[in-house]
Structure 1
Amino acid sequence: MKLIRLCRAISAAALLLGAVLPPAACAQSADGVTAFENVTVIPMDTERSLPGHTVLVQGDRIIAVGPSASVAVPGGARRVDGRGKYLVPGLAEMHGHVPPPSAPAQNTEDVLFLYLASGITTVRGMLGAPGQLELRRRTAQGELLGPTLYLAGPSFNGNSVNTVDDAVRMVREQRAQGWDLLKIHPGLTRAEYDAMARTAAQEGLRFGGHVPEEVGLMHALRMGQETFDHADGYVEYAAGEDVSLDAAKLDSAVRMTREAGAWVVPTMALWEVLYVTLPLDSLLAYPELRYVSPQSVQAWVNAYNQRRADPQYDAGTARRVIEARQQVLAALHRNGSRILMGTDAPQQFSVPGFSLHREFPRMRAAGMSPYEIIATGTRNVGDYFQRNDAFGTIAVGRRADLLLLDADPLADVANLQRIAGVMARGRWLPADEIRTRLEAIAARHPRP
């Protein structure tokens, strides 16, 4: 036990010094180790690949990373053959949702597993419900199989907040209850928003989400809003009546975003659904719909048709909004703004986990390389959560959230779908177990 404690101390020191390989004695003394052997590691600290490496995991931590000839694998370790495979950090859904406590237990378990099945090991839940913090605890302690959850509390909106005092009270209540952040929805007045922002700063709480109309993008940036989900506020600020972007205003917004250290969660694919710019037939052809109840799919179809039939709907304007959003994302990326991976799943035609892969083509179209796209769901997320835990890259001391792939994602980001296994907080799920569990979910939702 003394040696193991010493090794942990050495590993922690090595992490601070940037080392990637602890002393071999640490690996030799460990119990209950998982070894990914002879794998190509993509650590995501920089754009590089490390072939012929071994990664050791004990508990929920990475304890060794190095050339396979230099890393001693202890007897009795679980050995995962990594030859011809690639190991990347687990991905994150930074604008996701998890079912409320009132939802059927099976539905909650299925949603959490769908995230894991696509390699999502971290979810930032962006709409809290009373009692949901128990779900965070159960997943963290391994009582329920799922990603690590960081949860926003019930939202600040025009219904929940009617006065400045309401805003102050809600911040303090959510701080006392233990929520990880505050969720902003439309409807707040500027005075209410400012009271929320000032109190959040006093209480040490981060906040993000939408930009209320009366507040506006630039004021929200000045007040310290940390994430701008759905890239909310940018088109509204920079576009004219015809939805064409004013280049000077867009540049100003992008520059201020970078200077403020704010983050943007684009959710591009979903907005194409909500603006009815994708054909319904193509949406209904998504194979991942087999993991969703027919009733949910029908509700999504009804919502799509209602928007399309709305007398105020104009297809040309909708297309221009989507084009403007794409220009915003390209400008944010080009100017070094910080982007986080997110899709707003589960949402209309956005099935947890699978929806990330609908997002990637939009990110590529904005000029992002495969490495830069993967970084939005790994290293960037680790940077965002660095005050909570260390993860998002493959290094000693990081949380053991890992994704084993059959092909190189740096060559093609679509290879993130070629999953050989997922590890979440040290829990290993090989591909055959993932397939079995997915088939069980599909069987619970037989198609008509």
Structure 2
Amino acid sequence: MFRCLAFLAGLLIAAPAPLAASPPAPATASDALVIENVTVIPMTEEGGVLPNRTVVIEGDRIVSIAFAQDGIDLCDANRIDGTGMWLIPGFSDMHVHLGNDRMLRLLAGSPVPEDGAANIQDIFTPYIVNGVLQVFDLAAMPETVGQRIEVESGRVLGPHIAMAPMIDSDDPILPFGITQSAATPAEGRQAVKDAAADGYEFVKVYGRLDLETFTAIVDEARARDIRVIGHIPQRGKGITEAFFQPGFELIVHAEEFAQQTRSPDITAIPSYVEMARKNDTALVSTLTANERILEIARDPGSLASRVDLYVLPPQFYDFSVNSNPYAAQSSEGYIQYVQSIVQFNGPLVRAFAEAGIPILTGTDAGIPGVAPGFSLHDEFEALAEAGLDNASILEGSTRLSAEFLGVDDDRGTVAVGMRADLVLLDADPLSNIANTRRIAAVIRDGRYLSRRELDALLDDLLERNRK
């Protein structure tokens, strides 16, 4: 299923004792990189495909896209034959939870593991090898700020990181430390002030906030130019529309609408579409998260056979496989409920797409059982199964995600002057979305990582993670 994991079985048997973590050298770009005879999928608003092009990258920028027959004469350039390949912007996962040591201790309710269990480079390698060059961390912690500094400084090879700290009630769903508490409107306003002081551009609202506190958060955020995203609180209370307030810009799960009623109500989808359309609220899909949860609930033993989970640090792997909360809830009633959510999600995202509401690709990677990096390709295929066309899926993972994050002047399209965050594929993703898995190379800030180098990064990670 996963091309770059095909060698896993032999590796896990033959690997020597685990090594100390050894992150790759800081990302650097050669003076010039020339990709010749490649088909460019620019993902610009104009759309279209540019066959037989030569793309020139200098430093971290695209400086030329020309017809291949024009010829490019650059001495000492690193030349790549792109014949039979497709060049596309790097992918975005707009809903992730990046692991760190304190997060694991809070989730496990234990003072262990010790610091260093979640090696920063190891957290990011699964994203890089899958062409995921932008992530949106929706439970940002101070550690996340440090991770972003390490990536942007070039000391760690990873995706760009957008961040949103989580705000919930004084009886939060997730532990304090992962989430902040706001039990009153005044506390909600203070939480936004704190986020602004810490330099965050987004805040995430969570499921147990009351309407008054939610309203105060959105109002304070508007005043401070902080953008509000997240869940629709107070599920099942019949007040869904009240939360669609100006400034609430993004719902981060399709399942949020499924859970607004006691059981998912497909007949309510048109009203949900209208709420989002009138409020200019976009949607992150996360279809694959619910599909994985259903798979786990049906067969908890399937976790042990999941090759993609081997990319997790050992303590995270143990939590996902041996203490998985979805496996613990496995029952006929729970299975039926999750199945009803899965059956609801497809028609919902299709209706949103048909209404012109942006569908951004996200996976909830980091929750137990959803593998970082690899799950985004699962999400692409789930969206195709739901009825979205391949071009729309790719737009949601490139240009539309960049536009939402406000970085579309830097990345998200293949155009002159844009950052060279790119994926080179050896098959056409517009004809078959599964071809996004067929990665020949990843280009991060102009640094060319061949298939061989990507496999070496993954090889090193798996060798150290094996049990």
Residues 14-413 of structure 1 correspond to what in structure 2 (within 5 A)? 32-45=31-44, 46-70=46-70, 72-100=72-100, 102=102, 104=116, 107-159=119-171, 160-213=181-234, 216-237=239-260, 239=261, 241-246=262-267, 249-275=268-294, 276=296, 279-293=299-313, 295-301=315-321, 302=323, 303-309=325-331, 313-386=333-406, 389-413=409-433
Deviations 1:142-189 (A, max 9, x none): 121111111112434444112211111111121121113101112211
Aligned equivalent of 1:6: none
Residue identity opposite 1:98 in structure 2: L
- 1:398 to partner: Cα distance: 1.4
Deviations 1:65-124 (A, max 9, x none): 121233634212221221111100000010012233645276321111111110000011
Residues 425-440 of structure 1 correspond to what in structure 2 (within 5 A)? 425-440=445-460
Over the matched positions of the two proteins, sequence identity in percent amounts to 30
Deviations 1:267-302 (A, max 9, x none): 112123335565445554432122235554443344
TM-score, structure 1 normalization? 0.85
Cα contact 1:98–1:125 (8 A) shared by 2: yes
Secondary structure (helix, strand or coil) at the match of 2:259 reads helix
CA distance 1:349–1:84, shift in 2 (3 Å): same
- 1:54 to partner: Cα distance: 1.1
Q: CA RMSD in A?
A: 2.4
Distance 1:78 1:58 in 2: 10
Mean alpha-carbon deviation: is it higher for 364-373 or for 72-81? 72-81
CA distance 1:412–1:229, shift in 2 (3 Å): same
Distance 1:414 1:288 in 2: 16
Secondary structure (helix, strand or coil) at the match of 1:444 reads helix
Cα contact 1:211–1:232 (8 A) shared by 2: no
Distance 1:141 1:391 in 2: 18
Deviations 1:329-363 (A, max 9, x none): 22112222111111011222211110112222321
Distance 2:92 2:239 in 1: 28
TM-score, structure 2 normalization? 0.82
Aligned equivalent of 2:14: none
CA distance 1:278–1:33, shift in 2 (3 Å): farther
Residue identity opposite 1:186 in structure 2: G
CA distance 1:315–1:144, shift in 2 (3 Å): closer
Mean alpha-carbon deviation: is it higher for 350-359 or for 321-330? 321-330
Distance 2:68 2:359 in 1: 34
Distance 2:151 2:254 in 1: 29
CA distance 1:305–1:154, shift in 2 (3 Å): closer
Query: Which structure 2 segments of 5+ residues have no match?
Result: 1-28, 103-114, 172-180
